[in-house]
Amino acid sequence: MTVIRLCLTFAVLGGLLAVRTQNRASAADHPRLEVVNGDFSDLSSLTAGNDGWYAGLPKGWRGSKG
């Protein structure tokens, strides 16, 4: 009984280690997040909207369309 429990424990730990290693590798494939103008100190490229919010993106920012 003890040998079976030990083998099962090693199998579970090996599986968890494999999943963790795979998650680390996939995270390295994605580019890092870079914040530009994070304090909104440059609002020159924005235009005022009707509801008081600004349309567009701050200078130097890129949206999901590039």
CA pair distance 17, 11, nearest whole angstrom: 10
pTM of the model: 0.29
Per-residue pLDDT of the chain (66 residues; tens, 9 = 90+): 687 777 778 787 777 766 666 556 565 677 777 787 777 788 787 776 655 556 677 667 777 765
Please tell me the predicted confidence (pLDDT) of residue 62.
74
Six token digits for residue 47: 């235009």
Domain ranges (residues) in the chain: 1-30, 33-61
End-to-end CA distance of the chain: give it in Å, rounded.
60
Contact (CB, 8 A) for 50 and 40 = no
